[in-house]
A = this chain, B = another copy of it.
Amino acid sequence: MSEKDDLKAKLVPAALGATGPRIVIVGGGFGGLHAAKALGSAPASVTLIDRTNHHLFQPLLYQVATAALSPEDIAAPLRNVLASHANTEVLMATVTGVDIAGRRVLLGDQAIPYDYLVLATGSHYNYFGHEEWEQFAPNLKSVGDAISVRRDILQAFETAEMESNPDVIRALLTFVIVGAGPTGVEMAGAIAELAHKALPGEFRRIDPRSTRILLLEAAPRILATFPDSLAAKAQEELKRMGVEVRLNATVESVDSDGVCVGGDQIRSRTVIWAAGVLASPAGAWLSAETDRVGRVKVEGDLSVPGHPEIFVIGDSAYLEQNGKPLPGLAPVAIQQGEYVAALLRSRLKSAPAPKPFRYFDKGNLATVGRAYALFDWGVVCVSGFIAWVLWLVVHIYFLIGYRNRLVVIFQWCWAYFTAQRGGRLIDPGD
């Protein structure tokens, strides 16, 4: 869209009864939603814009992709979550840019004026310049992605059952996950449970227990953000579950036949990408300075240098603490959303600005499989069942909506006691 087109963009009509300064938040993920929630009674009119109509609890998306939960269980309609805030409106729209001089957020041929802007636009996966791999190795960011990966995984077993060529069956029953961060580890463990626990006994030609699950990691160890000792335990647990972990394994190519890694061709029909992160285009919209993965370098109060009215939070922001960049985790985004809300509340009543943002690390959790998780709390490191119970409690607590919490608790109890999966749905369309 050219600058001339921008000027022609129609202003979206103001919401009925809107008064006060206009705060526009882009993105309904952890950062944006918690900012909006904390601005509920502020003397301002708040607009939250998202491409979808829901807040998605991304840490559990791998459970949708492996048929343990339904997409609806981990999604909450943004309007519903914010309905009781009379000063807040939600718009489902795709942001195409920001007109900084005119203080307007651009939505194609429409525009929304702002006095304060909070960009919480998240991140997507990084194919390191090989975008053509995405069609063969999809990733997990949206509900659509998760449904599509779930279909691929379940369909592989169905197709194998109809197949007579043993080489093709072998490729169909080989699953490759690229990247051994928390998502990759969780996916590998969940596929192992599906193949080795839920599906055996339901097929008459193939044996799902013969499924091969490979987890490839370019670094010399898995779970880079966890201490060595916990990562080593997680790797042992993965091995016990039947997952092959390959370290120092850099992917050289991905195509419809599988992946090539270290000169070795692995034949697989289902490759899932869980490596690397690239920030959303917020940096480009603002023409701001970014780090090498596109995160906007923000001030200590999370504002953009030279623009005290614009903030960037969550996965899109780059901020160092104790000499290290803050990680792209939900708790960081939540705390940043709440910080910006508090800062804006001070500004609205001309009170002194709060101190610069500091992330309070409450500990780092990852799950490997049924009844096994890791918890890194600095001095204390826990692995196994206790960490898994903690993982359950924390995930239920941060899930939005009482209905979702109750349904997820039920689904998890059911899965724990029966080893069955509730979401094994393939819909090939008509």
Contact = CB atoms under 8 A, between A and B. Distances in A.
B204 A89 contact: yes
A139 to B, nearest CB: 10
A53 B143 contact: no
Interface in A116-163: 141-145, 147, 154-155, 158, 161-162
Interface in A1-41: 10, 12-13, 15-18
Contacts of A77: 202, 424-425
Interface residues of A, number: 61
A416 interface: no
Contact of A52 (B17, B90, B144, B428): B428
B144 A54 contact: no
Nearest to A74: B425
Contacts of A426: 52-54, 92
A162 B71 CA distance: 26
Interface in A387-420: 403-404, 406-407, 410-411, 414, 418, 420
Given A143-B425, A201-B83, A13 B164 contact: yes
A161 B93 CA distance: 10
Most buried by B among A53, A89, A422, A427: A427
Interface in A44-85: 51-54, 70-73, 75, 77, 79-80, 83
Interface string A212-232: 000000000000000000000
Contacts of A403: 411, 414, 418, 420, 422
Contacts of A425: 53-54, 71-72, 75, 77, 143
B110 A162 contact: yes
A130 to B, nearest CB: 17
A328 interface: no
Given A91-B161, A93-B162, 15 more contacts: A16-B204, A54-B424, A54-B425, A77-B424, A79-B202, A80-B202, A80-B424, A83-B202, A92-B155, A92-B161, A92-B426, A141-B430, A403-B418, A407-B422, A410-B410
26 contacts: A12-B164, A13-B164, A15-B204, A16-B204, A52-B428, A54-B424, A54-B426, A71-B425, A72-B422, A72-B423, A72-B425, A75-B425, A79-B203, A80-B202, A80-B424, A89-B204, A90-B202, A92-B158, A142-B427, A144-B429, A144-B430, A145-B430, A403-B414, A406-B414, A407-B407, A407-B411
